[in-house]
Amino acid sequence: AGGAAMAEGEGLVSVDYEVSGKVQGVFFRKYTQGEAKRLGLVGWVQNTSRGTVQGQIQGPAARVRELQEWLRKIGSPQSRISRAEFSNEKKITALEHKDFQILK
């Protein structure tokens, strides 16, 4: 599927996220990376010292929305999401990441 052509038709967006709940030690980052790659999104994900998972998502607006819904409701099989917060949403002209990385 020609992902690039599709991305031109709709604007690219960047959004930061933080997910609270039982999200560390349950492969949450690995599943988030897998889902982001499946959707053709770029960005990153990492555990925080507060016991949450945070990161940034960039890509076509509709795809970013899909990952936001996934972060809000689904997550990894063992996770228990209590809250997903999104901030700093903005339109971007080009992707600022090459792929979707798990940061330590």
Cα distance between residue 28 and residue 85, in whole Å: 16
Positions marked active-site: 29, 47
Residue holding tokens 């330590």?
Answer: 104
- Report how far Cα 31 is from the mean position of its chain's Cα atoms: 10
Torsion angle defined by CA atoms of residues 78, 83, 89 and 93, in that order, rounded to the nearest 10 degrees: 10
- Three-state secondary structure call for residue 4: helix
